[in-house]
Amino acid sequence: MNKKLLSFCSIIICLLSFPIFTFASEFKMSDGSLIKGELKEESIKVKASLGVGVVNLNPKDITSIVGGEKVEIWLRDGSLIKGEIVGNALKLKAAFGEFIIDPKLLVKFEATTTIAETTTTAKPGPAAPAPEPAKEEKPAKEEKPVKEEVATKGDSPDSKTFDLPSNTIWQAVLSALNGMGEKTDKVLKESGQITTESREYTDAKALSTGGFGPGQIKYGLQMFVISLTEGKTKVNLNVSFKKKKMKLLSEDTEFPEGLKYLRAVFYERLEKVITP
């Protein structure tokens, strides 16, 4: 009996000496429950709402997700992606294993994972041999915050970064849209989002190059004004296109020529507003 008890105690001590992983991130579900865990390290595919197509996201780049029929995913560079998660499934890792949840049942996810290690105090054993002299190590490279890296790596065709505060750029974006004859549909300063009303695309050259006729294409603009570090601000421009099928019906379509033209017009006008 004593031997069995000793064996059992030994097993417990061994188990307690292993690292214990705790998850600070929380998944708040629509039924009021909270799940502590993190996103599984697999690419998440999102069908973006603005005709961009399917976007592959690295879970490490995600800071939060607002669930629902169409999710809102915030990235570490301050960008926001709206759309549907392909397969309607989010893979999670929790203390009790891996499982899948329906994003429609998710209220919100915040990414803040930490790892804690606990060990038991054991009785002192035989003296350990003297440690070898420490090898000289090269100093580790200093890692810059993600937002600073984004601000200095250069911009994609959809975005531009300016050395001005967000309030200044916000007003400049509204002025640029007004100068283009665009009418705003939503202006949400708290989230930095501006969307315009759908209107007919009229540039004949781009329509002809894209294989479309007059009156066949409508478009809408969506932009995000994002505050970065060091007083910088980034502007993201998304454009959605719809092709007329019948009198009252339309469908999302790709229109690279129109996208290129609208990008050029918007950013050229924005630059003129900022530096007249």
Q: What is the pLDDT of residues 21-40, one digit of tens each?
A: 455 688 888 888 888 888 88
25 falls within a domain: yes
State which of 110, 136, 171 marks the end of a domain. Answer: 110
131 falls within a domain: no
For residue 194, which of 179, 218, 173 has the smallest C-alpha distance?
Answer: 173
84 falls within a domain: yes
Asked if the model's pLDDT at residue 124 lies above 70, the reply is no
Asked if the model's pLDDT at residue 268 lies above 60, the reply is yes
Asked if the model's pLDDT at residue 144 lies above 50, the reply is no
Residue 176 and residue 68 share a domain: no
For residue 228, which of 148, 157, 145 has the smallest C-alpha distance?
Answer: 148
Residue 176 and residue 87 share a domain: no
48 falls within a domain: yes
Average pLDDT, the chain: 76
Burial string for 89-116 (b: 16+ CB within 10 Å, else e) reads ebebbeeeeeeebebeebbebebeeeee
Residue 267 and residue 167 share a domain: yes
CATH number for position 176: 3.30.530.50
Range of the structural domain that residue 167 is part of: 155-274
Residue 268 and residue 159 share a domain: yes
State which of 81, 110, 139 marks the end of a domain. Answer: 110
Query: Can you tell me whether residue 6 is helix, strand or coil?
Result: helix
Q: What is the pLDDT of residue 146?
A: 33
| Model confidence pTM above 0.75 | no
Q: What is the pLDDT of residue 161?
A: 92
Asked if the model's pLDDT at residue 10 lies above 60, the reply is no
State which of 45, 77, 110 marks the end of a domain. Answer: 110
7 falls within a domain: no
Q: What is the pLDDT of residue 131?
A: 53
Domain count, the chain: 2
Query: Can you tell me whether residue 267 is helix, strand or coil?
Result: helix
Cβ contact 237:158 at 8 Å: yes
Residue 64 and residue 169 share a domain: no
